[in-house]
Every structure is written in C-alpha cells, then in structure tokens.
Amino acid sequence: MTKADQSKSNQFKDTWKTRTKLIHDGVRRSQYGEVSEALFLTQGFVYDTAEAAEARFVDQGEDEFIYARYGNPTTRMFEDRMASIEGCEDAFATASGMAAVAGALMSVLKAGDHLVSSKALFGSCLYIVTEVLPKFGVETTLVDGKNLDEWKAAIRPDTKAVFCESISNPTLEVIDLKAVSELAHAVGALVVVDNAMCTPIFSYAKESGADLIIYSTTKHVDGQGRCLGGIIAGDKELIRGPVEMYIKHTGGAISPFNAWIQLKSLDTLDLRVRQQAATAMKLCEALDGHPALASVRYPAYKSHPQYDLAISQSEAAGTVITVDLKGGKDAAFRFLNALEVFTLSNNFADAKSIATHPCTTTHKNVPVEKRPELGLTDGLVRLSMGLEDTDDIIADILNALEAV
Ligand SMILES: *Cc1c(COP(=O)(O)O)cnc(C)c1O
C-alpha cells in the first residue's frame, strides 16, 4: 500500500459522532488490508538504508516509528482514537493511569512552581500531589474541590497548574470544571483533570477548559478487568512537546499488546458505559430511603448534594455509586459478605459488578483523622455497575442489605 492509501485510511471526519469515531478513527491499515486493527507486537522498526535511519532520527513523520517506548502503530491508533473522542488534537498512551497522572504533572511542573489541587483524590494521586511533587520543589496547596472560594483563594499569580478528579474516587465529589478552569486560566495556569470516574462517554472536560485530560484506561476503556493503561489528551503542542518528552524518556509507555486490547474495547465503550450508567440510576431509585443506609450517592441522582451542578455539566455521571451503611464497618462487612452477583475487588468499571470497602482497602493509607473531611466513612461502600441484568444487580443489593 502506498503512503497515500495509508493516510486515506486514517483520516478523521470531524462530523462523525462519537459512536462512529469509536469504531473507525485512527485506523492504520497495513499492506494486507486487514479489517480488525492489527497488533504490531514489535519493539523496533527496520530502515531500508543507513540514510533512511539517519533521516528518521532527524525528522520523524506521522506514520514513521523508531522504538516502541516512543511510539508504535497499534499504540498510535489507540492514541488517535482516544484524542478524537475526547475532542483533543492529540494524546499519549501510558502504561497505567498513574503513569499518566505522574507523567502529566511532572512534564508541566518544575521546582519552584505552585500547584493547587482538590483534596478528594484517589490514594495514589494524593501521594503524587502531597509526596512526590514537593520532593522535587513543587509547592502544593490542597483545597476542598467543592468550594469555589477555596480555589479562588489558593490560585496565585505564580500558580502553574491546577489538578482535580472531575468526579472523585470514591467520594463522588463533583468539580465545577468550567469555573475552576476560568480561575486557573486567568493566571495562565494549566488545568490537569483526572477524568477516570466521569468516563470518556460523558466527558465535558475539553469544553470546560481542561488542558490535559487523563484517563486510567484500566477502567471503562478496558472495561473487562484485563490490563492496565492510561492516556493523556490535549493540544498537540503539549502532548508532542513536554508530555511526550517526559514519558518517552522515563519509560512510561504502554505495551502495544495492552494498547491493542484497549483499542478494540473502544468498539463497545459507548454501549457498555450507557448501560452501566442506566443501571446506576435504577439502583439509586431502588435504594432511595432504605432504612439501613445513611446515604445513596450518584452525582446524576437527585439525592447527591451537587446534583444540580452534576447534571448541568453532563447527561450522566459515570458508572459508580456509593452507599453509606448506618451500622459502620460491621454492617458494611455483613453487606459485602452477603453479595452474590457482585464481586469483592478494588477495581471498578468492569463488566462484572464490583463492591469495594475503601477504608480498609484502596484508601486505608489515608490517616483516620483526615477521613471525615474527605467523606470516607467506615460504612462507605463503592458499588461499580457491571453488565449483568439490572434486575439481578438490584435484587443482589436489596438481598444483601437484608443481612444487615
Ligand atoms: C484507578 C484510578 C487511577 C489509577 O489508574 P491505574 O490504571 O490503576 O494506574 C487514577 N485515578 C483515578 C481517579 C482512578 O480511579
């Protein structure tokens, strides 16, 4: 296949809707004309002549590769398709969600810079913000992400970036992304958003002003609990500039095999996530006012304290709900042990419904005295909606609550 034919096969059409882009965007067909995207499980690439090798190291073309840590055709398909559905110019894929969070922040910050971050964060994100970045001379200020006045007070003329989870894991706090972006951009700071809980399907990050949008593609993109992955999406200038430089030289590249699995998973992403979000809403309705529960939380359900903000930003709010059992840890454990459809694990966004007790697993390193301000109560259980029949999911939860 000639170069011209090849470029024809990866042309994006901006008019395509997300579901069409999820199937077709970024395709790079080999000379065999395969229908299903090919897995190029190769570390390196061959040059016809020494001159060709020299030329590629001087000026690497869009469809030319050098080494899989820098890029690979399968990985590039995944990056292009993710960038396309996110409405961004480009994207860089990473070995995991944490490689993406660390890579994005390390690539745009340096010693002496100031970062403002919401404090309701996934444990490893909190570690990077409060332990890793300060070690390299980045000053960080933590704020209550729900409170715009705190963002306003914390963002200073020398603030270089703000960071948040658009919907926090596991407490499901919602950030007013447009308002925070306006405050950040007013001082020239970059907006870096971990959008994992929100999902690419319900994302509003780009149009709200986010400069770097991060996903743990381990979650909804894989969606079947198989492999780790991450993505950083944004303008070409940032992605092919500092982000690519940092990640390709520090070794955070995704395996082409994992990129291929996650690329193929994009075919069904929209269908899966919409089904899971619909189940989340139905489960909230079924649990509303249940006597064993102090709260039922899903940002797009009316009992959430930030419901108005959540639905003003997106049509849905991810695929995870939380319940807070009145009886604390004992009740939570009785409930968890009585579940039959739900799997006990610490991941989420799987085809299998998953229940997690954050305080004793994913968030056990958060000091006990810091938990209340983060909404981490002993009775809190995170419930990730799977793809089982919605009636079975609801019946399982109601049944297990009987055991409490
Ligand atoms: C899971 C998760 C991560 C980390 O992703 P990995 O792929 O496990 O490295 C980061 N941020 C959030 C919000 C997450 O839920």
C-alpha of residue 297 to centroid of ligand 1, in Å: 20
Tokens 């849905």 belong to 316
Does residue 308 share a domain with residue 201? no
Does residue 252 share a domain with residue 277? no
C-alpha of residue 348 to centroid of ligand 1, in Å: 10
> Residue 204's domain is classified under what CATH number?
3.40.640.10
C-alpha of residue 197 to centroid of ligand 1, in Å: 9
**DSSP conformation letters of 314-378:** -S---SEEEEEETTHHHHHHHHHHT-SSSEE-S--S-SS-EEE-GGGTTTTTS-GGGHHHHT--T
The share of the chain scoring above pLDDT 90, in percent, equals 91
Res. 373 pLDDT band, cuts 50 70 90: confident
Which ligand 1 atom minimizes the distance to the CA of 98?
9
Res. 370 pLDDT band, cuts 50 70 90: confident
Taking all residues of the chain, what is their mean pLDDT, rounded to a whole number? 95
Backbone dihedral angles phi then psi of residue 250, each to the nearest 5 degrees: -105, 0
Structure tokens at 8: 């024809």
Domain count, the chain: 2
Q: Is 180 in the pocket of ligand 1 (CB under 6 A)?
A: no
Q: How far apart are CA 20 and CA 18, in angstroms?
A: 5
Q: 219, 258, 345: which to mutate for ligand 1, most atoms within 8 A of CB?
A: 219
pTM of the entire predicted model = 0.95
Q: How far apart are CA 252 and CA 261, in angstroms?
A: 18
Q: Is 170 in the pocket of ligand 1 (CB under 6 A)?
A: no
Does residue 244 share a domain with residue 212? yes
Tokens 């990640």 belong to 247
**DSSP conformation letters of 263-286:** HHHGGGHHHHHHHHHHHHHHHHHH
Q: Alpha carbon 362 to chain centroid distance?
A: 16
Q: Is 199 in the pocket of ligand 1 (CB under 6 A)?
A: no
Residue after which a domain boundary falls, among 204, 233, 268: 268
Does residue 142 share a domain with residue 274? no
CA atoms within 13 A on the CB side of 1: 14
Does residue 164 share a domain with residue 32? yes
Nearest CA to ligand 1 atom 2: 216
Nearest CA to ligand 1 atom 1: 216
Residue after which a domain boundary falls, among 216, 233, 268: 268
Does residue 304 share a domain with residue 200? no
Tokens 């409405």 belong to 87
Res. 10 pLDDT band, cuts 50 70 90: low
Q: Is 163 in the pocket of ligand 1 (CB under 6 A)?
A: no
Backbone dihedral angles phi then psi of residue 109, each to the nearest 5 degrees: -115, 155
Q: 94, 119, 122, 231: which to mutate for ligand 1, most atoms within 8 A of CB?
A: 122
Q: Is 98 in the pocket of ligand 1 (CB under 6 A)?
A: yes
Residue after which a domain boundary falls, among 251, 268, 285: 268
Q: How far apart are CA 372 and CA 305, in angstroms?
A: 16
Q: How far apart are CA 107 and CA 116, in angstroms?
A: 16
Task: Label residues 85-108 b or e (16+ Cβ within 10 Å = b).
Answer: bbbbebbbbbbbbbbbbbbbbbbb
Q: Is 222 in the pocket of ligand 1 (CB under 6 A)?
A: no
C-alpha of residue 3 to centroid of ligand 1, in Å: 38
Does residue 260 share a domain with residue 341? no
C-alpha of residue 217 to centroid of ligand 1, in Å: 8
Does residue 257 share a domain with residue 233? yes
Task: Label residues 40-71 b or e (16+ Cβ within 10 Å = b).
Answer: beeeebeeeeeeeeeeeeeeeeeeebbebeeb
Does residue 344 share a domain with residue 375? yes
Does residue 12 have a pLDDT over 90? no
What's the domain range around 201?
Answer: 3-268
Nearest CA to ligand 1 atom 5: 97
CB-CB contact of 327 with 378 (8 Å): no
- What is the pLDDT, as a whole number, of residue 8? 47
Q: Mind listing the pLDDT tens digit for each residue in 276-286?
A: 999 999 999 99
Q: 129, 216, 258, 347: which to mutate for ligand 1, most atoms within 8 A of CB?
A: 216
Q: Mind listing the pLDDT tens digit for each residue in 102-160?
A: 999 999 999 999 999 999 999 899 999 999 999 999 999 999 999 999 999 999 999 99
Res. 236 pLDDT band, cuts 50 70 90: very high
CB-CB contact of 149 with 179 (8 Å): no
306-330 average pLDDT score: 96
Q: Mind listing the pLDDT tens digit for each residue in 86-113?
A: 999 999 999 999 999 999 999 999 999 9
Q: Is 350 in the pocket of ligand 1 (CB under 6 A)?
A: no
CB-CB contact of 383 with 320 (8 Å): yes
Does residue 140 share a domain with residue 18? yes
Does residue 236 share a domain with residue 278? no
Give the amino acid at 225: G
The share of the chain scoring above pLDDT 70, in percent, equals 97
Q: Is 384 in the pocket of ligand 1 (CB under 6 A)?
A: no
Q: Is 96 in the pocket of ligand 1 (CB under 6 A)?
A: yes
Three-class SS of residue 287? Answer: helix
Q: Is 97 in the pocket of ligand 1 (CB under 6 A)?
A: yes
Q: Is 218 in the pocket of ligand 1 (CB under 6 A)?
A: yes
Q: What's the Cα-to-Cα distance from 51 to each of 2, 55, 58, 196, rounded to whole Å?
A: 20, 6, 11, 44
C-alpha of residue 29 to centroid of ligand 1, in Å: 31
State in Å, rounded, how far the first CA of the chain is from the last one.
64
> Residue 350's domain is classified under what CATH number?
3.90.1150.10
Q: Is 71 in the pocket of ligand 1 (CB under 6 A)?
A: no
Does residue 170 share a domain with residue 62? yes
- What is the pLDDT, as a whole number, of residue 116? 98
Find residue 142's DSSP bridge partners: 117
Q: 96, 124, 195, 362: which to mutate for ligand 1, most atoms within 8 A of CB?
A: 124
